[in-house]
Structure 1
Amino acid sequence: MLDEAIKYLKKSDPVLKELIDTVGSCQLNHIPKQSNLLEEMTRAIISQQISTKAAQAIYQRFLELYTYQETLTLTPEAILDTPEHKLREVGISRPKIRYLQHLATRIIAGFPIIEELSAMDDETVITTLTQVKGVGRWTAQMLLIFRLHRLDVLPIDDLGIRKAIQNLYHLEQLPDKHSLNNLGQKWKPYRSIACWYLWQSLETTIKNNRTKIVN
């Protein structure tokens, strides 16, 4: 499926073709699938509006609160039983603590599990997930792309995607949502794959810039 998607994208967009040739094979579907909905959603909430590096560090400290003898015991009940000061100590803000608690409450009440979400269409998944406080459309779309492996998701609110497009298409300013949506039409039905490459372009740019500085 990925080979077919990449061939299609390279044929439909010369700019994306050059990027794909630079980045190489797509690793999107190589991401492990073992995590459950609670792990995915807590990670997504903790990661909001902070850098990837900071999010990874905080999330790791968060998981350590629920790890005993190398066994993860993260459950919604455990989150609700955790004193707020303990969550604050690992770097989680008060609003995000409220979001985590609300997520835990919803899961206990019978929130859909990953397998049930997998049977839903994209918009139904988004509508379902955004019932949780602090979970917006972008967060739901990240789960669609990275956990449910949906191939045609375009997160038009993603700043990284907009910045990558500005760089690659030599735009004077960041594209607005309408422009991004129009551009994404040529990538259908593989917009998730296109987005993965756009995200990679930001890393490629950083590496290239570092190389120039060193030389």
Structure 2
Amino acid sequence: MLNKFTPDNFHTICDALANIDTDLSSVIQTYGYPPLWSRPNSFESLVHIILEQQVSLASALSALNKLRERVQEITPANVLVLTDEEMRSCYLSRQKMTYVRYLAEAILSGQIDLDAFEQMPDDEVRAQLVSLKGIGNWTVDVYLMFVLKRADIFPVGDLAAVNAFKRVKGLEPATTREELVALAKAWQPYRTVATMLLWHYYLSAPKK
């Protein structure tokens, strides 16, 4: 049985986390429940996540919208007919052009089947996706969380989540990734929803 969150159980999971973690409880008390961030299971969603690698969310969305204007519908076939110049005009770097094309080819060839991922365990989805050029663990984490709604992912490569974690818990700035992963185990089997609470805090709390 896959461990997923849904609109029906999301607030219940938030409450369960608040019951075991006073810091997460205070996030809910101060800022309310986080949004249930989600995206459809589509090629466009994965392209969007690739575009979000190492840039601001606003920059990535701007590139996605430009791409959508250019091809109307972001599908593997539509993207593969674009020239380098057309992709550059949509704010894609040379690296990201390569990654998007590689993903498009993998889907068209049947190497990757997004629908099949719906019923696959997290580690199998991860193994298939990280085999593709330009897709690392952060990209897979966001896909598992936002698209497949898997409930127990902690994206240790996400700077916003890590910084919020340190602030909420009053941790030293030098706290290592390994230490954070160990601390996040307290939130199992709902680390995704705990991370959404951290993002909610990051976006809502006054910046220091």
TM-score with structure 1 setting the length: 0.87
- When residues 23 and 137 of structure 1 are mapped into structure 2, their CA distance, relative to the original with a 3 A threshold, is same
Tell me the distance in 2 between the aligned counterparts of 1:32 and 1:163: 24
CA contact (8 A) 1:79 1:101 kept: yes
| Off by >2 Å, runs of 4+ in structure 1 | 111-115
After superposition, give the CA deviation of every residue in 1:158-208 in whole Å (9 maximum; x if it has no partner).
111110012112223143121111111111111100000101111112xx3
* Number of residue pairs matched by the alignment: 200
Distance in structure 1 (CA, Å) of the matches to 2:93 and 2:39: 28
Cα distance in 2, alignment partners of residues 187 and 122 from structure 1:
17
Q: Distance in 2 between matches of 1:189 and 1:136?
A: 23
Counterpart secondary structure, 2:167: helix
Q: Partner of 1:88 in structure 2?
A: 88
Q: What residue in structure 2 maps to residue 200 of structure 1?
A: 200
Query: Which whole-Å CA distance do the structure 1 matches of 2:64 and 2:58 have between them?
Result: 10
For 1:109-148, what aligned pairs fall within 5 Å after superposition? 109-148=109-148
Give the % identical residues.
28
Contact (CA 8 Å) 2:33, 2:197: kept in 1 or not?
A: no
Report the Cα distance in structure 2 between the residues aligned to 1:163 and 1:47, rounded to whole angstroms: 18
The structure carrying a bigger helix percent of its residues is 1
CA contact (8 A) 1:2 1:26 kept: no
User: Partner of 1:171: helix, strand, or coil?
Assistant: coil
The CA deviation at 1:5 is 1.0
Per the alignment, residue 19 of structure 1 pairs with 27
RMSD: 1.7
Once residues 180 and 129 of structure 2 are traced to their aligned partners in structure 1, the CA distance between those partners, rounded to angstroms, is: 24
By how many angstroms is 1:88 displaced? 0.5
Q: What is residue 189 of structure 2 aligned with on the other side?
A: 189
In the alignment, residue 18 of structure 2 is paired with which amino acid? K
